[in-house]
């Protein structure tokens, strides 16, 4: 299986543009802060779940 990374990045960028095109700078910053916090929490959950399976 191959991944078309360029297409993936473009799709993400286009989706973010649509979500944020009318947002203020503060709203944009808040969006990325919230999304990154969700991502960090999700990856931490996965990391911990992986450790539990190994035990």
Q: What is the pLDDT of residue 19?
A: 97
- Contact in structure between 33 and 40 (CB atoms under 8 Å): no
Q: What is the pLDDT of residue 39?
A: 97
pLDDT over 90 at 54, yes or no: no
Residue 1 C-alpha from the chain's centroid: 22
pLDDT over 80 at 55, yes or no: no
Q: What is the pLDDT of residue 15?
A: 97
Per-residue pLDDT tens over the stretch 5-52: 999 999 999 999 999 999 999 999 999 999 999 999 999 999 999 877
Q: pTM of the full predicted structure?
A: 0.72
């Amino acid at each position: 299986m191959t991944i078309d990374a360029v297409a993936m990045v473009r799709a993400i960028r286009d989706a973010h543009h649509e979500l944020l095109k009318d947002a203020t700078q503060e709203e944009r910053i808040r969006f990325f802060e919230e999304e990154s916090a969700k991502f960090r929490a999700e990856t931490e959950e996965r990391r911990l779940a992986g450790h539990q399976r190994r035990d």
